[in-house]
Amino acid sequence: MANSLHVTLFLLLSLLAAHKALASSHNHGLHLRSLEFSLFQHETTNKTGFVIVEGVTGPGITRTTTPFGTIFVYLNNLTTTISASSRLVGIAEGVSITSSFDGFRSISVAHITLEIHGYRGTVSVVGVVHNTKPAVLPVVGGTGDFLFVQGYVKSTLVDLEALNVMYKIDFHLYWPPYATNSPN
């Protein structure tokens, strides 16, 4: 009885430790820090995201396509769950320019302000996204607690309902050794 209680407790503690390691930052050898977490990005057409310039050729503006050359600008909330009213932990300011003639792909640049897991600062990402398929965008830098940060984000469309578009953003952030004493 006591033994099985011990085993149960041990298992619980191991699970907790594993969960903590998954959800927060951890040290590798050589003081390399990393941080992994997921957030949800909420976009509302004509409220937080707008077509500023309509492109020149290809399909018209549909739910999933925009003409080649279209410039789209957004300022979207990032929250901890899929519910737009869940805790706000970030803001994504970005621009995308439609770069394929079928209207599905665009060059995307975003500046993401974060306040999460005790970290405060910004992360910048750049890359090409597909309007309906998951995209991986390299992190090109950061500021504040994210100064010198490297890694990538994975953006996945999770819901497209009426004017609301939701994306899950998985952050995979790594600090190089020289970033250990980064200023704020």
Ligand X SMILES: *[C@@H]1O[C@H](CO)[C@@H](O)[C@H](O)[C@H]1NC(C)=O
Closer CB to ligand X, residue 25 or residue 64? 64
Closer CB to ligand X, residue 4 or residue 46? 46
Tell me if 51 sits within 8 A of 60, measured CB to CB: no
To which residue do tokens 């279209």 refer?
70
Q: Which of residues 42-61 bind ligand X (CB under 6 A)?
A: 44-48
State the minimum distance, in angstroms, from the CB of residue 44 to ligand X: 6
Report the Cα 80 to chain-centroid distance in Å: 11
Both structure tokens of 100: 């394929």
Residue 82 found at the interface with ligand X (CB under 6 A): no
Q: Which of residues 145-164 bind ligand X (CB under 6 A)?
A: 163
State the minimum distance, in angstroms, from the CB of residue 180 to ligand X: 33
Closer CB to ligand X, residue 77 or residue 108? 77
Integer CA distances (angstroms), 80 to 40, 75, 85, 111, 127, in order: 6, 17, 9, 18, 24
Integer CA distances (angstroms), 37 to 10, 92, 117, in order: 26, 15, 9
State the minimum distance, in angstroms, from the CB of residue 73 to ligand X: 13
Closer CB to ligand X, residue 45 or residue 182? 45
Tell me if 112 sits within 8 A of 123, measured CB to CB: yes
State the minimum distance, in angstroms, from the CB of residue 2 to ligand X: 49
State the minimum distance, in angstroms, from the CB of residue 45 to ligand X: 5
Among 17, 22, 53, 84, binds ligand X (CB under 6 A): 84
Closest CA to 131 of 39, 45, 36: 45
- Alpha-carbon distance of 83 to 88, in angstroms, equals 10
Applying CB under 6 A, which residues contact ligand X?
44-48, 77, 84, 88, 163
